[in-house]
Amino acid sequence: MLDAASRNRDFPSLSRMTYLNTAAEGICPLAVRDALVEYFEDKQRGSAGRPSHMAQWEAARALTAELYGLTPGEVGICSNSSEAFNLAALALRLQPGDEVVINDLDFPAGRTVWLQEGAPSVVRVWRAREGALRVEDLIPLLTPRTRLVSTSLVSFFNGFMIPLPAVIEAVRAHSPALLALDVTQALGRVPLDLRDVDLIISSTHKWILAPHGGGLVGVPSARAHEWTVPAGGWFNLEAPFEGQVGDPVVSKPGAESFMVGMPNFPAIYAIRAALEYLKGVGVENIYEAAQPLVTRCLEGLADLPVELITPQEPDALAGIMAFRHPRLPEIFEQLAAQNIHVMHSAGRMRVALHGYNTPEDVDHFLNTLRTLVS
């Protein structure tokens, strides 16, 4: 996929560290820096720069749509995943007695909005067993009152990837619920088939190699009615400058209702550049290149005295692995001192492997870890 020369050219900082933390922060290719400079130059033109800003925004939507399997009009871009989920909650207009299913492998952004004091719905928790979310454990939680099942495709916690077709089938068979899917830990890393998902959300600063500041929202047009956000603003409204002040306002339908004000154009330029880069490399190629590294890393970890908390089921693996050890804080510090970057939080250590990682990265990490845990 990338050879040593293209890796050095596009990601120069990677030659100075062993970077295994894309699940926290992706490294941007230099094309993203160029896009940020382009934004600055367009901004220097004042309002004459606006057509360029809008062109970048349209391009970012179109590229996102390709990854989501939607049309550009079915994509909105807000500022992060948490914002997208809060807007989605407004759209859902839950009533007392409505039910929402969340799970204990999910990132807080997708599961906390339903848990605020005063939130009207009953929340049911789909619990993982030995690190895996099993569809047979979801089914008893689904009822005629279930309005929403919200889950990540790939868990930020241990990397478990849910069996999406089976989850969709269960939701459809056992409830009238909508399915909201957070693809932050999969987009750009795993080829996706998101047909029949009702709401798709992703952050931008991880596997798609873009910077912070984007929340990529996909709403299939068939679901636009359910996901129209009743928020104030102007960018999201039909004819915001017409009629009398005090008249009721009308939101644009679906994805467009998730963009309430002026888009975050610096991020949009950069997201456009990152998605173009990704398209040039190809997500299939990234998957093919990185999956053997995941296997190599898991096999190495299995030989060490650590407690793996990522189920070793090939269909449930994406780019993330996690493990526990009694001395993780100290091990983390030692790894960092040797310029090996992983994540240590929530009681586990997390390793993330993207297409720009190499077998040498994995071996260096495993060899160093071996000396620290032995």
Tell me which of 107, 250, 282, 366 binds ligand PLP, using CB under 6 A.
107
Task: Give the number of residues written for the chain.
Answer: 374
Beta-carbon contacts of 231 under 8 Å, excluding residues fewer than 6 positions away, are 87, 90, 251, 257, 260
Q: Which residues pair with 180 in a beta bridge?
A: 150, 199
- Looking at beta carbons only, is 107 or 235 nearer to ligand PLP? 107
- Report if residue 216 touches ligand PLP, rule: CB under 6 A: no
Give the sheet arrangement for strand 146-152, strand by strand: 75-78, 215-218, 199-203, 178-182, 146-152, 99-103, 122-126
- Report if residue 310 touches ligand PLP, rule: CB under 6 A: no
Nearest to 178 by CA among 100, 119, 264: 100
- Looking at beta carbons only, is 214 or 311 nearer to ligand PLP? 214
- Looking at beta carbons only, is 14 or 216 nearer to ligand PLP? 216
Tell me which of 146, 151, 203, 368 binds ligand PLP, using CB under 6 A.
203
- Report if residue 103 touches ligand PLP, rule: CB under 6 A: no
Tell me the two tokens of residue 49.
Answer: 């720069």
Size of the site for ligand PLP (CB under 6 A): 12
Rounded to whole angstroms, how far apart are CA atoms 239 and 222?
23
**Subset of 154-173 contacting ligand PLP (CB under 6 A):** 156
Question: What single string gives the DSSP state of each residue in 249-305?
Answer: --BPPGGGGG--SS--HHHHHHHHHHHHHHHHH-HHHHHHHHHHHHHHHHHHHHTSS
- Looking at beta carbons only, is 57 or 156 nearer to ligand PLP? 156
Rounded to the nearest whole angstrom, what is the least distance from the CB of residue 360 to ligand PLP in the complex? 27
- Return the SS3 of 55: helix
Interaction pattern, residues 68-87, with ligand PLP; x per rule: CB under 6 A:
------------xxx-----
- Report if residue 152 touches ligand PLP, rule: CB under 6 A: yes
Tell me which of 59, 89, 109, 353 binds ligand PLP, using CB under 6 A.
109
Interaction pattern, residues 120-139, with ligand PLP; x per rule: CB under 6 A:
--------------------
- Report if residue 21 touches ligand PLP, rule: CB under 6 A: no
Q: Which stretch binds ligand PLP (CB under 6 A): 182-190, 302-310, 312-320, 335-343?
A: 182-190
- Return the SS3 of 324: strand
Tell me which of 158, 185, 264, 310 binds ligand PLP, using CB under 6 A.
185
Q: Which residues pair with 199 in a beta bridge?
A: 180
- Looking at beta carbons only, is 21 or 81 nearer to ligand PLP? 81
- Looking at beta carbons only, is 183 or 294 nearer to ligand PLP? 183
- Report if residue 264 touches ligand PLP, rule: CB under 6 A: no
Angle (deg, nearest 10), helices 283-302 and 265-281: 80
Tell me the two tokens of residue 325.
Answer: 């050890």
Residue whose tokens read 């990540």 = 152
Tell me which of 175, 184, 228, 310 binds ligand PLP, using CB under 6 A.
184
Rounded to the nearest whole angstrom, what is the least distance from the CB of residue 44 to ligand PLP in the complex? 29
- Looking at beta carbons only, is 213 or 220 nearer to ligand PLP? 213
Helices (H), the chain: 4-10, 30-43, 50-68, 81-92, 108-111, 135-138, 164-174, 265-281, 283-302, 328-337, 359-373
Angle (deg, nearest 10), helices 30-43 and 50-68: 150
- Looking at beta carbons only, is 215 or 263 nearer to ligand PLP? 215
- Report if residue 182 touches ligand PLP, rule: CB under 6 A: yes
Rounded to the nearest whole angstrom, what is the least distance from the CB of residue 232 to ligand PLP in the complex? 21
Binding site for ligand PLP (CB under 6 A): 80-82, 107, 109, 152, 156, 182, 184-185, 203, 215
